[in-house]
Structure formats: structure tokens, C-alpha cells
Amino acid sequence: MLSRTVSPDRTGGRKLARVVYDEATIAARVRALGREITAAYPHGDLLMLGLLKGSFIFLSDLVRRVERPLQVDFLVAASYGAEAASSGTVRLLYDPETILRGKHILLVEDIIETGKTLNRIVALLRERGPESLSICALLHKHVSEHLELDAAFVGFDAPQSFLVGYGLDHAEDFRHLPYIASLT
């Protein structure tokens, strides 16, 4: 991890503590994850299901690194609002319209923290009869007490600070940053 400072030009003058993962480090890990996913799914229908909004940049980069046919869809769940900690209440705002039965589903998540959102989504997806269900997370904090399904693919083990950038936000800010930085 890097400890350099963040340019206020990219953040509208708002200060961030430090860059945790720079662009090159992220790109290299996404390439490696693409190879791992390609090898893990040699046959069958693969649906990469992005959990919006946080995963959209990661998912976009990742699907271009998976070297096999696949489909992409999204689902939206909310649990943060403008706070820096999850409210614990998960609201599904968009449910995928794609048929999941018989497909290999790879749920692509930006960050695994408490696992409450993820557990609710895993239960919902299992009810729809996929051939298999796995999780790919860009970041994993390893703080959840109980996950219904462990992540099969993880980009980085995340520090216990609030992270923004590369799709991750605080009150909808900072998603556009090409790196991952610590807010605190």
C-alpha cells in the first residue's frame, strides 16, 4: 500500500488521508482476477452481476479481462445513505430482470464489510436457482461475523478505514477517482 497524499484537484478541495491502492496496482490486480475467473468458469453460461453503484468501475474493467463469453446485469441495494457507516437496513432498489436459473452467477461487489447487504442478496439469488453462485469483491475488510457465502475472488484485503474512489463513495462523492484512498 502507498502512503502518498491525494491531490485536492481531483477531490474538489476536500482532503483525503492517503492513497491506499494506486491505479497501477488496481489494474494489475484486475488483470489477475480476470485470469482467475476465466479459469474458474470454463463452461456454461456466466452472468456477472454487478452490485451498483459501488462496483460499476470495477465491473467494467473486470469484464474486459475475463476471456470467455459472459453476460452482465446489475442490482441495486442501499444501506449507507450519507453516513460513513452502514445503517444495517438493506433496501433493494433494482432487481435484475435476467433469468438466473441454470447460470453461473458471479456477484461483483465493491467492498465486503458487515456482510448484511451481501447476505440479503445471496439469499435472494439462491432462491432463483442458479447453477452456481460466487462472489468477487474488490475489497474485503474481514470484519463480518457471519457471511452466507465467502468471496471466491478478492482483489485486496482492505484496511479498517473508510475508503473512497474507483467506484466507492461517501455521500455520492469520490467515485470518479482512479485510485482507492482513505477518507480518514
Confidence (pLDDT) at 1: 39
- The whole-number average pLDDT for the span 38-47 is 97
What number of other Cβ atoms are within 10 A of residue 61's Cβ?
A: 18
Q: Which three cell numbers stand for residue 98?
A: 435476467
| Res 17 pLDDT > 90 | no
Residue 2 pLDDT: 38
Omega before residue 141 within 30° of 0, cis:
no
Q: Can you give the residue ranges of every domain in the chain?
A: 18-37+44-80+89-182
What mean pLDDT do residues 71-98 have? Answer: 72
* DSSP codes, the chain: -------TTTTTT---SEEEE-HHHHHHHHHHHHHHHHHH--SS-EEEEEEETTTHHHHHHHHTT--S--EEEEEEEE--TTSSS--S--EEEE---S--TTSEEEEEEEEESS-HHHHHHHHHHHTT--SEEEEEEEEE----S--SS--SEEEEEPPSS-EEBTTB-BTTBSTT-SSEEE--
Whole-model pTM: value is 0.86
Domain 18-37+44-80+89-182 has CATH 3.40.50.2020: yes
Please write the tens of the pLDDT for every residue from 87-107. 556 667 877 878 999 999 999
> In the numeric block, which cell numbers belong to residue 47?
452472468
Over range 144-152, report the average pLDDT.
Answer: 90
Give the three cell numbers for residue 10.
481531483
Distance CA 101, CA 162 (A): 36
